[in-house]
Structure 1
Amino acid sequence: MAIKSFMGKRAKDTKGTTSEIKVSDYMTRKLITFKPDQSVMEVMTSLIKNKISGGPVVNDKNELLGIISEGDCMKQISESRYYNMPMDNMKVEKHMVSNVDTIDGNMNVFDAANKFLETKRRRFPIVENGKLVGQISQKDVLKAALKLNGQTWK
């Protein structure tokens, strides 16, 4: 009796293919940023208009100061209503998250995916030489995975 192998044709070795896929290849470079002296109301308007869930806060030198998100704005809405205080005077610098994790643009995009899972973050800024150069989101990682569909995941 002959033994048949049901193993399909092996794909060509693509060694090194995915290790060269960097965060910088998939990050967004044209960012909507906010200033620390902007009002939270302006941020909310911008988030809705641009269909984004948050963005980096930078100074005039494009240095990253923090991130403000929908969640930060929601907190202010809730507190404003609870304490019956108007939101007109609320500034970004008092309501942003200033302890921000960043990712190196040279990091492998799949290592970045792991960092997203570990930290439960939705976005990571990329800083080079002290300046904000981009941001990678979970959606950017999904785009990278789709582009590599069918290749080995090394």
Structure 2
Amino acid sequence: MVKNYRGVQMLKPVATDTQRISVRDYMSTRLITFHPEQSIMEVVEKLLANRISGAPVVNSMGELVGVISEGDCLKEVVKGKYHNLPILGGKVEDHMATNVMQIHPDTNVFEAAKMFLEMKIRRFPVQDDHGRLIGQISQKDVMRAVKNLKSENWH
């Protein structure tokens, strides 16, 4: 058995420039939002005009109360066809999803990516510590974040 005369040596951690990137760094902050009282027809027009697939629904105080998507609107289209009604009726509050998963702005984008895969959701509203809607992160935003990273320093 060979013993080293220098004894136990502590390895110094290698200094690495880790990139801590959070949802806050890549979320969209200029959001199109809807109100519960708006008509589904208004939603369809705005989604098409802005080339988006869904958006948060906020109350008069700006608090997140749901999300409305193309899928929610399509359900109304199918229902209208079944009842032979050609127009999209109803209000956002009648068709929006209210059990909405939110994400904190300080969440790491890799954790957000994992959440997207596990939950099969296309977008997460981002809320601050006071519950205010401050943005939205999409799968495309996460991909943009990954593209901007230095591959040797992922964290």
Q: TM-score range by the shorter chain?
A: 0.7 to 0.9
- Comparing 56-65 with 142-151, which one deviates more in the overlay? 142-151
Distance 1:52 1:149 in 2: 30
2:134 corresponds in structure 1 to 133
Instruction: Name the structure 1 match of 2:76.
Output: 76
Name the counterpart of 2:3: none
**What are the ranges of 5 or more consecutive residues in structure 1 without an aligned counterpart?**
1-11
In structure 2, what is the equivalent of residue 147 of structure 1?
148
| Cα shift at 1:87 | 3.6
Percent identity over paired residues: 51
> Hey, what's the Cα distance between the residues in 2 that align with 1:109 and 1:87?
40
How far apart are the structure 2 equivalents of 1:151 and 1:51?
Answer: 35
- Structure 2 unaligned blocks of 5 or more: 1-13
Matches within 5 A, 1:103-142: 103-128=103-128, 129-142=130-143
Distance 2:52 2:152 in 1: 31
1:31–1:135 CA contact under 8 A, matched in 2: yes
1:55 matched residue in structure 2: 55
Q: CA offsets, 1:18-66, max 9 Å, x none?
A: xx20101100000000000000010000000000000000011110000
- Root mean square deviation of aligned Cα: 1.5
Give the superposition deviation at 1:150: 3.0
Match of 1:3 in 2: none
Distance of 1:121 and 1:94 partners within structure 2: 21
Distance 2:52 2:15 in 1: 39
Residue 11 of structure 2: aligned partner:
none
Report SS of the residue matched to 2:152. coil
Q: Is the 8 A contact 1:61 1:131 kept in 2?
A: no
Flag the structure with larger Rg.
Answer: 2
Query: What residue number does 1:16 align with?
Result: 18
SS of the aligned residue for 1:99 comes to coil
Residue aligning to 1:25: 25
Q: Does 71-80 or 82-91 show the bigger shift?
A: 82-91
